[in-house]
Amino acid sequence: MFNLLKTAVLMAAITALFMTVGRLLGGQQGMVLALVFALGMNVFSYWFSDKMVLRMYNAQEVDASTAPQFYRMVQELAQKAELPMPRVYLINEDAPNAFATGRNPQHAAVAATTGILRALSERELRGVMAHELAHVKHRDILISTISATMAGAISMLGNFGLMFGGRDSEGRPVNPLVSILMMFLAPLAASLIQMAISRAREFEADRGGAEISGDPAALASALQKIHRLAQGLPMEAAEAHPETAQMMIMNPLSAGGLRGLFSTHPATEERVERLLAMAQGGVAR
């Protein structure tokens, strides 16, 4: 119930942001059009955003015959978490990362890069996939997928404002500097909304994943390894669609400028510290 409330708050906040940008672009009429567009995007995001994200990453669905070891691992962890079996995808990408998507546990999907399968031991990979299934169990996946789609739409709206200029409430053209500011501030505001939700969510998924796998130390080791390897392996799809970065187990974006300052992920060191504390506290394998 709490995550449903968070989803409603997120959709309301981003809808309000759409209306603000729409007012700057086209005055009162622009605000109404932006509201209609935002409501349409909310409906579209609920039903189709998971498919959009998987397509962005060119994710390929696999099963027990095409990726038997990986598929059986997810199947075993899903049973342990008392979840329906999600669809399983692989992304042909060297950068090590993984994410979960879908609107609910009955329509969930988990995806991992081929790079993460090569980089991690079986124990570590189990920890990562348990983390993703914890997102499914906590119903975080709808929040992350909707926020990714809506943040991308806001960025597009900001760019539209730069190209065509904005209008004040009287319908007169606004100062071009306002349009330029809007291009930067609209996506930034969307990122701040994402960040407020994502950081706490990652800690909870780490805890839940450690409980599902029964091996918090393995997840801690995986996070350290992913953090180290990801530094020199840019993820092109994530760089092209930065609004999807908050869905990943580790931030896939280069850390320069505002991206580093407004990261949607908590510091890896703090995540590892919490997991090792769980291991010392005696989470059973």
Active site residues: 132
Question: Can you state the angle between helices 2-56 and 176-213, rounded to 10 degrees?
Answer: 100
Close Cβ partners of 229 (under 8 Å, ≥ 6 residues apart): 95, 96, 115, 119
Burial 41-79 (b: 16+ CB within 10 A, else e): bbeebbeebbebbbebbebeebeeeebeebbebbeebbe
The residues facing 102 across adjacent strands are: 108
Nearest Cα to 242, choosing from 190, 197, 199? 190
Nearest Cα to 86, choosing from 134, 149, 144? 134
**DSSP states of 172-194:** PBPPHHHHHHHHHHHHHHHHHHH
One-letter amino acid at 152 equals G
The residues facing 111 across adjacent strands are: 89, 99
Query: How far apart (Å, rounded) are the C-alpha atoms in residues 10 and 6?
Result: 6
> Under a CB-based contact definition with an 8 Å cutoff, are residues 147 and 246 in contact?
yes
Query: How far apart (Å, rounded) are the C-alpha atoms in residues 49 and 239?
Result: 18
**DSSP states of 46-64:** HHHHHHHHHHHTT-EEE-T
